[in-house]
Structure 1
């Protein structure tokens, strides 16, 4: 309803049609009623058509003329590549980071067992620094953080909520120092403010890890691309959805596709098990969730 204000009749019809398709997708009614995991067909106009260089096409569609827009914070705040899993996100971020000009700066974390962990000599040998350095955990920066001036990053912890430094806030790197990183806020209510991000001690809350360890690192991650879960609450105008693997939890596909304001703001690249283009993907909707709404 908000998007139809001041639009022409043809635009309103297109917006309403897209909204209805999204609603049916979110309720599990696309391709016929279903409950749980269902295979659905995506309209052809929403798919990457280039079979020779699909990844390059995906990047160009969401980040056209990227090097000419380094100083435009609105450019990075309004667009993103989305994927269900972190490994694909890291792959896309590394590729886009390599396209950026300028010298890269490497920051290595200091990892150790928490002081509260009653570790004996055997545990100390098992959980050595090399082992801890190799752990890659959601919502925790990697041991090796590589940045360049101008790249967009995302904050992974609440540091100063009053001044806009909240978890999932998008930032742009302005200067790289030894002990702090100067950034400009490009999302939220404090857009344009420059802040300095220090290294902090980060303790993962993942219950699958049977021991407590801490990582001292800058709470940042490169975010040309982000997971679908991280995109919740992010208002975007241009989204590329890369489904190297299908979504795996309730409502993920709906969340990804509903980040944009118009139908022409989203494009999908879907690969099957043989890494070939396809127009079919998985939609996960468990309808019992809606019973008490």
Structure 2
């Protein structure tokens, strides 16, 4: 559901912004019980959160409109990596693992150990171990072919994979959510 068309949520945000919503101290807002997912254990709570954002994933995993109308936003890359790993495990298809190749040219003194290079994930690059499954969503991180819609940020769904290539379909934009 789009936040801008959800009257209750829009009004709730306005009450917070206008200072008319009950506060807890100066920095916290009391959230209604029906929009809160209770905390049990970290993994159990995240599973429940994923189920709320992606209900019936097993039945809808092949539908571009279903996948493109949902997203989980996170504050830190380390959380994104954890969520991505959990989400990939939930997709009902065979997994393919890709590994990066990280040599350093002209490093005669071994200043950059391969294990170190494999442990970092710079912004804009995939992790050293990339796991994908058919029908899982991916986002382009580079402009590959802007004329044909393959730009940074384009959402795609993996449809096939080979040893050194991933076949993906652009997800249609008509059902995507919007940020304002």
- Deviation of the 1:186 alpha carbon: 1.0
Q: Which residue of 1 is the match for residue 77 of structure 2?
A: 86
Q: Which residue in the other structure is 1:225 paired with?
A: none
Partner of 1:64: 55
1:40 corresponds to: 29
User: Aligned partners of 1:158 and 1:23: how far apart in 2?
Assistant: 37
List alignment gaps of at least 5 residues for structure 1. 5-13, 192-233, 237-257, 260-293
RMSD: 3.0
1:31 to 1:159, Cα distance in 2 relative to 1, 3 A: farther
Secondary structure at the residue paired with 2:125?
coil
Show the counterpart of 1:121: 108
Q: Counterparts of 1:106 and 1:43 in 2: how far apart (Å)?
A: 41
Q: C-alpha separation between the residues in 2 aligned to 1:23 and 1:137?
A: 37
CA distance in 1, matches of 2:39, 2:101: 43
| Equivalent position SS for 1:121 | coil
Q: What's the CA shift for 1:130? A: 2.7
| Residue 155 (structure 1) aligns with | 140
- Pairing of 1:166-245 with structure 2 (within 5 A): 166-188=151-173, 235=177
Distance 1:106 1:169, change over 3 A: same
- Which is bigger in relative contact order (C-alpha 8 A, separation at least 6)? 1
TM-score computed with the length of structure 1 as normaliser: 0.51
**Greater strand share, 1 or 2?**
1
Cα distance in 1 for partners of 2:38, 2:108 equals 57
Q: CA-to-partner distance for each residue in 1:179-217, whole Å, 9 max, x for gaps?
A: 22110111447x9xxxxxxxxxxxxxxxxxxxxxxxxxx
The 3 A distance-change label for structure 1 pair 142 and 28 is: farther
Which of 135, 138, 141 aligns to 2:120? It is 135
C-alpha contact (below 8 Å) 1:48/1:58 kept by paired residues: yes
Q: Which has the higher helix share?
A: 2
Contact between 2:58 and 2:91, CA under 8 Å: does it hold in 1?
Answer: yes
Distance 2:45 2:33 in 1: 15
Structure 2 residues not aligned, in runs of 5+: none
Aligned length: 173
Gap change, CA 1:23 and 1:138, over 3 Å in 2? farther
- SS of 1:102's equivalent in the other structure is coil
Distance (whole Å) between structure 1 residues aligned to residue 107 and residue 169 of structure 2: 44
- Find the aligned partners of 1:165 and 1:41 in 2 and give their Cα distance: 42
- 1:120 deviation in Å? 5.6
TM-score, normalising length from structure 2?
0.79
